[in-house]
Amino acid sequence: MSEIRIVPARRIQTEFIEKNSRFIANAAPTFTVEQAQAFIENINEKFPDASHHVPVFLIGHGASTIEHCSDDGEPSGTAGKPALAVLRGSGVGDITVVITRYFGGTKLGTGGLVRAYSDSMRQVLAELPRAKKLATTTLMFVIPYPLFERVQIVIANFNGACVEKNFAADVTLSVRLPNEHLAAFQDRVTALAQGRIEFITIETRDNTIIPIN
């Protein structure tokens, strides 16, 4: 079984106040450096009058991870690096977080900044809905009505999802499956249909996000 890769299920925003400074954390799933940069630019445009926009991202998982952070004008080592350290320990990959600060008039000091940016990252991670990232293939095939319920069970057994059903003389199904189960699923359905079945690949994706309940 392949390694389960945890990613954000969707974009979210959290906020807290520390000595009148507002810290707004925005997080989103990003699978390339280009997507991360686009998200960072989007947040900069969303809060154009903010004092700082501290970006942090992890693209990939394990040994292939690309990471980046910046203090964006805060004292060196007080913003990006502590936020990145918290993110590294979360087990979440393919994520970009931008922590926006509106200065509230009271200096926090070096230690206060480290705590505030770390706490902002912890807060957004605590509220972040998580998902699995899987390589998937969507197949379309036709089955007779008597096999419909049995095929539904097979789909569930192989962690698949039926994305479309069309009921006519027979039943046409479009089913999304993790690639690791693809061959076994096809073998099982072919056996049920006694070989009278044709699979058509209609989509392949490397970065399918499947929310974790």
Q: What is the pLDDT of residues 74-124, one digit of tens each?
A: 999 999 999 999 999 999 999 999 999 999 888 999 999 999 999 999 999
Q: What is the pLDDT of residue 144?
A: 93
Q: Rounded CA gap, 74 and 23, in Å? A: 13
Sorted by where each begins, the domain ranges of the chain are 5-128, 132-211
Under 8 Å between Cβ of 208 and 138: no
37: left (phi over 0), alpha (psi -120 to 50) or beta: alpha
Q: Is 5-128's fold the same as 132-211's?
A: no
Per cent of the chain over pLDDT 70 is 98
The architecture in CATH of the region 132-211 reads 2-Layer Sandwich (3.30)
Q: What is the pLDDT of residue 3?
A: 62
Q: What is the pLDDT of residue 71?
A: 96
Neighbours of 165 (CB within 10 A): 12
Average pLDDT on 28-41 reads: 96
Q: What is the pLDDT of residue 2?
A: 52
Beta bridge partners, 130, equal: 8
Q: What is the pLDDT of residue 168?
A: 92
pLDDT in tens, 40-79: 999 999 999 999 999 999 998 777 789 999 999 999 999 9
Tell me how far CA of residue 48 lies from CA of 42, 52, 104, in angstroms: 10, 10, 16
212 pLDDT more than 70: yes
1 pLDDT more than 50: no
Neighbours of 162 (CB within 10 A): 13
Average pLDDT on 21-49 reads: 96
The superfamily (CATH) of domain 5-128 is: Impact, N-terminal domain (3.30.230.30)
Confidence of residue 182 (pLDDT cuts 50, 70, 90): very high
Q: What is the pLDDT of residue 196?
A: 85
